[in-house]
């Protein structure tokens, strides 16, 4: 019975992230699961989804870890795109078309990229006009 709940919970978390246009924190995902499972189970599901390359982690400017659904059709170990963190509404979005570039010494190996731009998102920018 535990496997069924976990599968149901994993499906629910995956659907929540698939439908979201922004990255979500653990607590936001937990609230959206409507008490389907406990907080530890959500952490385990998120870890599994990250390890399976279905979602990726984003650290916002305050240090909060958020999760977003990967939109690629093949496995990648580095999510080579930028993220945008809105200073007003605090939403984080993946900017799939913005590819960060960097130059590092040859004796380094990159295993993770966290490239975050900050400012005002289109919704907040338009509401301030």
Is 37 assigned to a binding site?
A: no
C-alpha–C-alpha distance, residues 20 and 5, integer Å: 22
Q: How distant, in Å, are the alpha carbons of 22, 64, 83, 102 from that of 98?
A: 16, 22, 8, 13
Using CB atoms within 10 Å of the CB of residue 6, give its burial: 0 to 12 exposed, 13 to 18 middle, 19+ buried.
middle
Is 70 assigned to a binding site?
A: no
List the binding residues for Zn(2+): 86, 89, 121, 124
List the binding residues: 86, 89, 121, 124
């Amino acid at each position: 019975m535990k496997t069924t709940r976990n599968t149901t919970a994993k499906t629910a978390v995956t659907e929540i992230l698939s439908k979201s246009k922004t990255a979500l924190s653990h607590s936001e995902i937990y609230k959206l699961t409507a008490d389907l499972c406990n907080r530890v189970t959500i952490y385990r599901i998120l870890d599994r989804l990250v390890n399976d390359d279905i979602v990726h982690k984003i650290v916002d400017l305050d240090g909060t870890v958020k999760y977003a659904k990967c939109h690629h059709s093949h496995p990648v170990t580095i999510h080579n795109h930028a993220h945008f963190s809105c200073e007003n509404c605090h939403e984080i979005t993946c900017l799939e078309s913005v590819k960060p570039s960097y130059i590092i010494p040859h004796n380094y190996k990159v295993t993770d990229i966290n490239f975050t731009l900050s400012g005002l998102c289109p919704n907040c920018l338009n509401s301030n006009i």
